[in-house]
Amino acid sequence: MGAVGEKPRLIDESGRRIDGRRPDELRPIEMEVGVLKNADGSALVKFGDTWVLAAVYGPREAVPKHMTLPERAVIRCRYRMLSFSTHERKSPAPSRREVELSKVIREALEPAVLTELYPRTTIDIFIEVLNAHGGTRTAGVTAASLALADAGIPMRDLVAGVAVGKVDGVIVLDINEIEDMYGEADMPVAAMPGLGRITLLQLNGVLSPNEFRTGLKMAMEGIRRIYEMQKKVLRQKYAVIEEE
């Protein structure tokens, strides 16, 4: 939010958002699993113009070998934005933001993966943001969770994520880049909906305690819907073959 003063109006007279959505409406979401041949599991997830590719390898042998844990598999996670995924070119060198988000995303997935089944091994998760338009980390978590399922790695539940925000005083679901840039707050959330467990929660912005509660509730409802889409796409992969 600079002093440039070009902030667009984010909510119009009829309560619609800058891209025409209602406050509690998700962007059009597309998901596909098994999009890469070599990876053990993969997924491509699109939330509007935010496109994220996730690939999973493992459980596999750890390299170097000493970087293992005796009681569980180690998860290695990298979140990255491709250099041309943003308006200004993103330097391919890892930014501090990417370092933090790699950790936050790993910690969003750790509670879901049954790592204790595979001691002394490694599970690698690579998340590549192909096109960034807000909500890349939550799309990344959603895609990574699908890729883990596609790799056949046992999980307590799927993890789905979405960001809510406050724009022009209104709490809205699944904010896009413009709402993120000019809005008052951005709150990414990820959860295992079947178990009611929140695994990622960040707030970037200022909210009253009541606004926070409203936002969290809205996020959890959105996550429910995304979760149903995840399950559907995982089933679809096999339905397609059946029809052949």
Partner 1 sequence: MSITPELPLIPRLKANAIMNLLARGQRIDKRKLEEYRDIEVRIGYIPNAEGSAYVRMGNTQVLAGVKLEVGQPYSDAPNEGVLIVNAEFIPAASPSFEPGPPDENAIELARVIDRSLREPRVVALDKLAIIPGKKVWIVWLDIYVLDHDGNLIDASMLASMAALLSTRVPTVAVDKESGEVTVKRGEFQGLLPINRLVTTVTVYKIGNYLVVDPTQEEEALSGARLTVAVTEEGLIAGMQKAGMDYLSDAEVERAVEIALSKAPLLIGKIREAAKGIRGEGGEASNAGKQG
Partner 2 sequence: MSKILFENRSLVVPGDVVAEGDRLTLAAPFLRRVGRSVVATVVGLLTVEKSNNEYKVGLIPLEGCYYPRPGDVVIGIVRDIGVTSWLIDIRAPLPGVLNASDYLGKPYSPSEDLSKYLDVGDVILAKVAQFDRGRDPLLTVQEKGLGKVVEGALIEIKPSRVPRVIGRKRSMLSVLQEETGCQIVVGNNGRILLRCPDPEREAIAVLAIKKIEREAHTQGLTERIKDFIIEQKIKRGLIGGSGR
User: Site residues (CB under 8 A) for partner 1?
Assistant: 1-4, 67, 69, 72-78, 96-97, 99-100, 102-107, 110-111, 115, 185, 187, 191-192, 195-209, 212-213, 216, 220
Rounded to the nearest whole angstrom, what is the least distance from the CB of residue 235 to partner 2 in the complex? 6
- How many other C-beta atoms are found inside a 10 Å radius of the C-beta of residue 217? 12
Which one-letter amino acid corresponds to residue 3?
A: A
Largest Cα–Cα separation, the chain: 61
Angle at 29 (CA atoms; ends 222, 27), nearest 5 degrees: 65
In the block, residue with structure tokens 């192909």:
130
Q: Which listed option, partner 1, partner 2, none, makes contact with residue 150 (CB within 5 to 8 Å by class)?
A: partner 2
Tokens of 152: 């056949």
Tell the smallest beta-carbon distance from residue 154 to partner 1 (Å).
Answer: 16
67 touches partner 2 by CB under 8 A:
no
For partner 2, the closer CB: 195 or 206: 195
Asked if residues 184 and 218 have their Cβ atoms less than 8 Å apart, the reply is no
Least distance from partner 2 to the Cβ atom of residue 83, Å: 32
Which of the residues 144 through 203 are near partner 2 (CB under 8 A)? 149-158, 192-195
Query: How distant, in Å, are the alpha carbons of 84, 143, 226 from that of 231?
Result: 31, 12, 9
Contact set for partner 2, span 92-121 (CB under 8 A) = 114, 117-121
CA distance linking residue 45 with residue 229, whole number of Å = 11
For residue 243, the partner it binds in partner 2, partner 1, none, with Cβ less than 5 to 8 A by kind, is none
Rounded distance between C-alpha atoms, residue 139 and residue 44, angstroms? 9
Contacting residues toward partner 2, per CB under 8 A: 40-41, 58-61, 70, 73, 114, 117-122, 149-158, 192-195, 227, 231, 234-235, 238-239, 241-242
